[in-house]
Structure formats: C-alpha cells, structure tokens
C-alpha cells in the first residue's frame, strides 16, 4: 500500500506541471465580458483586461466624437459588436476598414488593435490562437483594390489604366517582453493573416467562414511577460459586394504553455507504472 501511495504521489507531481502548462492564460478570451469606462455617451465599453486602441480614437481616454451632418466626421475604426461574435450570442471585435479613405469624407486609413499582457517565463513554449473573418469586400483580403472602387487611390489607378495595391494588413502577434516592456528577439510580431496565413475574403451570402490562426514560439532569456495582439492596420475603403460589407472580425483568443515532450513522456511513464503495479497486485 505504501508503495502504491508513493507511486500515486509521483504521478501527481509529474502531472501537476502539465495541468499548469495546459491552462488558459488569457482572461476574457471570448471578449464577451465588458466594462464601461467613462460615460457611455463618449466611450465604448471595453473587454477588460484587453486593451483596444484605435486610430482615430474610439476608446477611453479618446472620446468618440458624434457625427454632425456637414461637420467633421471621426470614423469608428474598431469596436465590439454582437454581429462580430463567432458563435453567436456574445461579442466580437470589428475592424471597420471601410471607414478609412471613405469617399468624400476621410482622407487617411484607420487602425484598430486589441492586446493583452500576461506574466511569462523564459524557456516556456507558448501557443497563441485566435479566429478571424474577412468579409467579401475587405481590403485586407485582396492584393488590389477593386477597379470600380470609389476609393481615391483606386480611382486614380483606374484612370492610369491599372489597379491600386491594397495597403490594409491584418496581423496576429505573439511577443515576449523584458522588464522594461521592450519586445525581445524571437517574438512573432507581424504574422499577416492574408499573405502568410492564406486567409481569403468570404464571398458567401449564406454564412461566414471563420479561420483560426495559431502562432507558437519559445520565450527567450529575459522574458518577464507575454503580449498577444490582433490588429487591422491601414484599413481603407474597397467595395461592398452584393449583400456584403468590408470588415474584419476577431474573436475567441487563447494562450497556453505547450507541454514539453520530456514532461509528456515522464507523465506517460508514471501512468504506465501505476497501471503495471495495479495489474501485478
């Protein structure tokens, strides 16, 4: 009996690191929990502890400026919405690319980024994943803007007999930070979902195609924390296909420590030993 207890204790010790390694490190990864920071008349609610930044600003401490017909229009580059939720019934993040270079109103592109920072350990292997959906006219899912796009860049290119290259990027990032918050070598800072991840615009009218992207990297020496990000950069107006729009949606993020092969083999050996002992008895 004492021998069995010792083996059980060994199995517990072996398995404990695996439980820690497999646990979810992000808080509110589905973005469904929100907190109102400041007046709802001025700011969107936020999916704390995530930090959302937009350019132009839509989140505290940058107040939302209401649209005044004939006045200056501040685009809403990104915000949470129910229709951006992957599974339905919750919330997701929308990157409103069409707000950038909006014909007749906006002259520049727009950006949105969501990020979260958690404690990190050097030597650990981290796996970050998240889901994205590109709508049919999204500028980040094509190489060139549509020839009939009213975007000023597309119009100028068409007059010259060509097409305007799309400038919108959609990225995921898995970054390791030192004690000063600087990004360390070995980080994955700009994983492009279209060019590198192969995600295309969804041209279906009867449903959405969501694509999961996964990044994996080992935390280098000096790692104090891990930062994960998703962003739409240089969002701009392209075209609205029939029955569709031109946004990007983000949802359902996860960050975990990947069990090391040696730990997995040791755990399996411990379990096998327990099984053998039980059979002999």
Give the pLDDT confidence of 247-279 residue by residue, as tens digits: 999 999 999 999 976 554 445 545 544 444 455
Q: Is 206 in a helix, a strand, or coil?
A: coil
- Which stretches does DSSP call E strand in 160-274? 169-177, 188-192, 211-218, 225-235, 248-258
* Residue 17: pLDDT over 50: no
Give whichever of 63-67, 204-208, 235-239 has the largest mean pLDDT: 235-239
CA pair distance 26, 124, nearest whole angstrom: 16
Assess whether the previous peptide bond of 59 is cis (omega < 30° from 0).
no
CB 227 within 8 A of CB 233: no
CA pair distance 131, 47, nearest whole angstrom: 16
Q: Where are the domains of the chain?
A: 2-33+77-280
Instruction: Report residue 100: phi and psi, to 5°.
Output: -80, 135
Predicted pLDDT at 69: 55
pLDDT tens across 153-168, in order?
A: 999 999 999 999 999 9
For 96-158, the three-class secondary structure string (H helix, E strand, C coil) is: CHHHCCCCCCCCCCEEEEEEEEEECCCCCEEEEEEEEEECCCCHHHCCECCCCCCCHHHHHHH
CB 91 within 8 A of CB 84: yes
132: tokens are 């994205």
The model's confidence at residue 93, banded by pLDDT at 50, 70 and 90, is very high
The C-alpha angle 179, 224, 255, rounded to 5 degrees, equals 140
Predicted pLDDT at 65: 55
273: tokens are 């030993």
63: tokens are 């107040």
CB 207 within 8 A of CB 230: no
Q: May I ask the CATH architecture of the domain 2-33+77-280? A: Sandwich (2.60)
pLDDT tens across 217-248, in order?
A: 999 999 999 999 999 999 999 999 888 899 99
- Long-range CB contacts (within 8 A, 24+) of 49-52: 49/116, 50/114, 50/115, 50/116, 51/114, 51/115, 51/116, 52/78, 52/93, 52/112, 52/113, 52/114
Predicted pLDDT at 272: 47
192 to 89, 117, 246: CA distances (angstroms)? 28, 20, 18
The model's confidence at residue 9, banded by pLDDT at 50, 70 and 90, is very low
CA pair distance 258, 239, nearest whole angstrom: 41
């Amino acid at each position: 009996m004492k021998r069995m207890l010792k083996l059980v204790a060994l199995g517990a010790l072996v398995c404990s690191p695996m439980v820690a390694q497999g646990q979810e490190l992000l808080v509110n990864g589905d973005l469904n929990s929100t907190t109102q920071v400041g007046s709802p008349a001025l700011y969107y609610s936020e999916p704390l502890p995530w930090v959302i930044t937009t350019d132009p600003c839509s989140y505290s401490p940058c107040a939302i400026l209401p649209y005044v017909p004939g006045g200056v229009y501040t685009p809403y580059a990104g915000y949470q919405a129910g229709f951006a939720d992957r599974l339905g019934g919750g919330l997701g993040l929308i990157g409103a690319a069409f707000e950038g270079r909006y014909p007749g109103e906006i002259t520049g592109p727009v950006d949105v980024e969501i990020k979260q920072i958690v404690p990190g350990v050097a030597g650990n292997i981290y796996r970050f994943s998240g889901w994205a959906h590109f709508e049919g006219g999204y500028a980040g899912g094509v190489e060139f803007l549509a020839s009939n796009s009213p975007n000023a860049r597309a119009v100028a290119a068409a007059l010259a007999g060509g097409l305007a290259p799309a400038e919108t990027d959609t990225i995921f990032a898995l970054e390791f930070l030192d004690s000063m918050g600087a990004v360390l070598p070995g980080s994955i800072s700009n994983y492009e979902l279209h060019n590198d991840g192969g995600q295309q615009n969804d041209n279906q009218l009867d449903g959405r195609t969501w694509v999961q992207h996964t990044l994996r990297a080992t935390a280098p020496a000096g790692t104090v924390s891990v930062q994960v990000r998703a962003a739409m950069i240089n969002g701009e107006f392209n075209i609205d296909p029939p029955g569709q729009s031109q946004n990007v949606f983000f949802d359902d993020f996860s960050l975990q420590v990947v069990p090391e092969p040696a730990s997995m083999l040791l755990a399996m050996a411990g379990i096998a030993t327990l099984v053998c002992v039980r059979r002999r008895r």
